[in-house]
Structure 1
Amino acid sequence: MNQNRFLLPEPVGKLLSLLPVFPGSLLFATGLNLALKGNLPEDVRQTLNGKKLRIKVSDACLSFDFQWNGSRFAAVQPVGEPDLTICASAHDFLLLARRQEDPDTLFFSRRLLMEGDTELGLLVKNTLDAIDLPVFELGRLAPARVLGRIIPGAGRSQS
């Protein structure tokens, strides 16, 4: 299947790239705290402490910079290189969040890129794989008729 058909159109990415960076990172960090904060094992928290991470949505021209500050995820300004950057298209991140695609498959097909501390990348991947995250079931967040208009196929059952 041609994965290019699932990329956001370039004009949309250019428009999104004009948005200020920090508010997006703040919203992303808040979402991570809601979804993950109580599920992170102590050893993972210690390893993440002070590490700067960046999620880069390639086709949307958006990046979210954040770090674990010992008690929660916090947005940070995009200054310097992060310890780890994870990059994919919006569609591929959606597939990962819905657990419809395996991160290893995306990585080896070069649709998911990791730059920086690879050991930290493996820790993040393994931690997310080990946590049951029902919050990512989009049907619980919005009615199927609304999601189906925004994201093709999102209104269908995930069984």
Structure 2
Amino acid sequence: MSQSRFLLPEPVGKLLSLLPVYPGSLLFATGLNIALKGDLPPDVQQSLNGKKLRISVTDAKLSFDFKWENGRFAACGKDGEPDLTIGASAHDFLLLARRQEDPDTLFFSRRLSMEGDTELGLLVKNTLDAIELPVFELGKLAPARVLGRIKPGGRGQG
């Protein structure tokens, strides 16, 4: 099965690329802080301290820049090169978040990329593997009354 079938259409990526970087990075860093809730061991926190990371959603042409400082993740501007960039399609990131795909499988099939400090990349991967995170479920992000109005096929009731 071709993976291009699961990529966002090019016009959608072009439109999303016009969004300002910082608000998305702020939301992403806030989400990380909520999801991890102090689960990062002290040695990992020390290794991450001051390191700039970038998550690049390749088909959406979006990136989220953040770093670890003062005991939490904080958004960064896009200025300067990150220490580590992790890139994949939106679909592949969703598969990772839902634990339906293994990062090693995606990496070796060239659907997940890491650029920069590979030692830092391994630290991030191993840390996430070791933390018991709940499986990401899209349905939990919206109130039931909103989702109840959405029919399969994407059309609402009204």
**TM-based fold match above 0.5:** yes
How many Å separate the matches in 2 of 1:10 and 1:134?
Answer: 32
What is the match of residue 48 of structure 1? 48
Q: Give the secondary structure class of the aligned counterpart of 1:92.
A: helix
Bigger-Rg structure (1/2):
2
What is the match of residue 121 of structure 1? 121
Q: Give the secondary structure class of the aligned counterpart of 2:128.
A: helix
Match runs of 1:3-42 below 5 Å: 3-42=3-42
What is the match of residue 2 of structure 2? 2
- Is structure 2 residue 66 aligned with structure 1 residue 58? no
What is the match of residue 90 of structure 1? 90
1:38 CA displacement? 1.2
Structure 2 stretches lacking a partner, 5+ long: none
What is the match of residue 101 of structure 1? 101
TM-score by length of 1: 0.88
1:149 CA displacement? 5.6
How many Å separate the matches in 2 of 1:95 and 1:149?
Answer: 21
What is the match of residue 153 of structure 1? none
Whichever structure has more helix as a proportion of its residues is: 1
TM-score by length of 2: 0.89
* Residues 132 and 149 of structure 1: CA distance in aligned 2, closer, same or farther (over 3 Å): farther
Moved more, 141-150 or 66-75: 141-150
* Residues 38 and 54 of structure 1: CA distance in aligned 2, closer, same or farther (over 3 Å): same
Q: Give the secondary structure class of the aligned counterpart of 2:32.
A: helix
1:87 CA displacement? 0.3
Structure 1 stretches lacking a partner, 5+ long: 151-159
Amino-acid identity (%) = 79
Which amino acid in the other structure matches residue 57 of structure 2?
A: V
How many Å separate the matches in 1 of 2:118 and 2:128?
Answer: 15
Q: CA RMSD in A?
A: 1.7
How many Å separate the matches in 2 of 1:141 and 1:135?
Answer: 13
Q: 1:45-86: per-residue Cα shift (whole Å, max 9, x none)?
A: 000000000000000000000000031000011111100000
Q: 1:84-117: per-residue Cα shift (whole Å, max 9, x none)?
A: 0000000000000000000000000000000000
* Residues 30 and 135 of structure 1: CA distance in aligned 2, closer, same or farther (over 3 Å): farther
2:99 and 2:135 in contact (8 A); partners too: no
Count of residues in correspondence between the two structures:
150
What is the match of residue 134 of structure 2? 134
Which amino acid in the other structure matches residue 34 of structure 1?
A: I
